[in-house]
Amino acid sequence: MLERGGPAGSGGRAHAVRAAESARIGEMSSRPTPEPAIAFKKSVFREYLESIVVAVILALFIRTFAVQAFKIPTGSMEPNLLIGDHLLVNKLVYSPSLGPLEGALFGKRSIERGHVVVFKFPEDPTRDFIKRVIGLPGETIEIRNKHVFVDGKGIEEPYAHFLEATLRPDDPEFSHAGDGIRDAWGPQTVPAGQLLVLGDNRDNSRDSRFWGFLPVNQVKGRALLVYWSYEATREEYHRTGIVEWVRDTLSAFGRTRWKRFFHVIR
């Protein structure tokens, strides 16, 4: 009886399994098919807007912490920098470093004699000036007959430019040159945390000889290179009218100094 009953029981179980499977398949087939998810697609306007926002944020970051553009409105640094020169200034080079790796990566260094720096004018911090560093903290600087002496020793200044001969006390123009301090100044010792800066165009520059030493913390950065330059006059730079500004800007492209493009400032 066991031999005859076994196969019959197995067949019943198999039939039950097939029935359950068929019922499950039927239930699944009766369910509604889910619709495919619709991929989210940004509009062209939104993509452009996001790109512009990122570009603006990046530009503000670079301008604030890395590189900033300046222009030369006067002739105090001629002939090395001309009126109409547009410069890029490295704002990272003198900033504090968190470690030697950061200093090496961004080429950071201390301020040295001969560097051309952009700084906030001590008498009016809203204005930016550009001059060359001549005296460092602790050094005694003296100017004799237009020549600069550091700690009693004369220095070579291939960048210095002079328009006039040395003025003597009996010269009628002596009093118009700051009582001679233009050509004869000091000796004075540069205080800690200060610099002595001069314009390359020594006879046409208001600098440390006239308004004193420059606090190091007022230095914004080191001038790198000229990225654009055009022939201009000082008067053109000081015009404020909209019509004049538009006219001067449009005409500037025809007066571009092509040879000064990417001129490295030394």
Tell me, yes or no, if 108 is annotated catalytic.
Answer: no
Tell me, yes or no, if 131 is annotated catalytic.
Answer: yes
Catalytic residue (one of 41, 42, 76, 91)? 76
Catalytic residue (one of 91, 131, 146, 229)? 131
DSSP the chain: -HHHHHHHHHHHHHHHHHHHHHHHHHHHHHSPPPPPPPPP---HHHHHHHHHHHHHHHHHHHHHHTEEEEE--SSTTTTTS-TTEEEEEESSTTS--SSHHHHHHHT-----TT-EEEEEETTEEEEEEEEEEEE-TT-EEEEETTEEEETTEE---TT-B-SSPPPPTTSTTGGGGTTTTTTSEEEEEPPTTEEEEE-SBGGG--SHHHH--EEGGGEEEEEEEEEEEB---HHHHT---HHHHHHHHHHHGGGB-GGGTTEEP-
Give catalytic residues, as residue numbers: 76, 131
